[in-house]
Amino acid sequence: MKTEFDNLRNNDHHSYDVDSNGDKQVVKVYCDDQLIAKKLTQKKSVRYFGINDYQKHLTQEG
């Protein structure tokens, strides 16, 4: 899901938020103020989360 997450994050119609606390980093991607995906990085572990139908946001035009 790394590539899909990057596509969601880099989409001009989406916003994202980064929160870092020590060795933990959370990146949240929003579409119209709705959380659609999240990446959690802690030490060397990276986990990706997405809503059930996040794929429809990959090609969203607006």
Q: Write out pLDDT tens, residues 18-27.
A: 999 999 999 9
- The one-character DSSP state at 54 is G
As a whole number of angstroms, the distance between CA 16 and CA 29 comes to 4
The H-assigned helical ranges of 1-62 are 2-10
- How far does Cα 62 stand from its chain's mean position? 17
Average pLDDT, the chain: 90
* Strand-pair category, 45-50 with 34-42: antiparallel
Task: Give pLDDT, residue 60.
Answer: 54
Task: Express each pLDDT in 43-58 by its tens digit.
Answer: 999 999 999 988 888 8
Model's pTM, two decimal places?
0.85
Q: Diameter of the chain by CA atoms?
A: 36
As a whole number of angstroms, the distance between CA 31 and CA 43 comes to 28
